Amino acid sequence: MRCDRPAGGHAGRWDVLALGRLPYLQAWQLQVERVAARAEGCVPDALLVCEHEPVVTTGRGTRADALLAQRFPVHAVERGGAATYHGPGQVVVYPIVALAPGRRDLRAWLASLEAACIEVLAGYGLAAGRRPGATGVWIAGERKLVSLGVAARRWVAWHGLALNHAPDLAHFEAIRPCGMPASVMTSMAAELGPDCPPREQVEAALVAALQRHLEPFRAPCHALADGAVS
């Protein structure tokens, strides 16, 4: 992809695209197009915010025994990690960000995604944190609230996170989420009960936190060098 008008004038700007509920493959195609445009400097960094119809995605680390029931469509994707369920009631965010030279560390990128989620959940009284040896955001290291998986193409990061706001947790029984029993999955609604905040409030808080935590990774808004592939 080549653009006639590079996005150098958009330095510092984020595009926040509220996509609503849409099929997974439609969101995936939007990511692919946005990654290509960002790699050429045609558009600024973006946060794609959405939720999906029920679907299972399998990352590069998925084992053969991860799928327990064929209840939902299954799509193999480029991200790291194992099998993950997406569905109504999740807040899904796909950050499409050109990583600056010197900040092209996907482990550090994942840690910043986790930190943003932990900060947001703390604002609602949830003492969330990390679990040694596992990605994601957990309550007491036992109940998983946020799943993450990322990739980079020409050093533009994509894929992202799914925060369980109020999904049907029984849907996770179709898989071994990240190789674990479905019983590890929880949600804000399950943890907070009637005190669970509305989805729109959580989305806004998460977008703001991600913008703060991801800012140090951002490259200048111009075309990236060809061939930087991860």
**pLDDT value, residue 223:** 42
pLDDT for residue 228: 31
Cβ-contact 38, 45 below 8 angstroms: yes
The predicted-structure confidence for 127-179, as pLDDT tens digits, reads as follows 999 999 999 999 999 999 999 999 999 999 999 999 999 999 999 999 988 78
Q: Could you give the 3-state DSSP secondary structure of residue 137?
A: strand
Distance from C-alpha of 170 to C-alpha of 175, rounded to nearest angstrom: 10
Q: Regarding the domain with residue range 13-217, which homologous superfamily does it belong to in the CATH classification?
A: Bira Bifunctional Protein; Domain 2 (3.30.930.10)
> Is-catalytic flag, 178?
yes
Q: Which residue has the higher pLDDT, 204 or 223?
A: 204
Interval 50-78: pLDDT, tens: 999 999 998 888 888 888 988 999 988 99
Question: Once rounded to an integer, what is the mean pLDDT over residues 11-36?
Answer: 95
User: Which candidate in 50, 178, 196, 221 is catalytic?
Assistant: 178
> Taking residues 200-224, what's their average pLDDT?
89
> What Rg, from alpha-carbon coordinates, does the chain have?
17
The pLDDT value given to residue 70: 87
Average pLDDT over residues 193-217: 98
Show Cβ contacts of residue 148 under 8 Å, excluding neighbours closer than 6 positions: 81, 110, 113, 114, 135, 136, 137, 160, 161, 162
The one-letter amino acid code at 41 reads: G
What letter does residue 165 receive in the DSSP assignment? S
- 147 vs 50: CA distance, rounded Å: 15
The yes-or-no verdict on residue 10 having pLDDT over 70 is no
- The answer to whether 152 and 230 are in contact (CB under 8 A) is yes
Interacting residues of 186 by C-beta distance below 8 A, sequence separation 6+:
139, 143, 144, 145, 164, 169
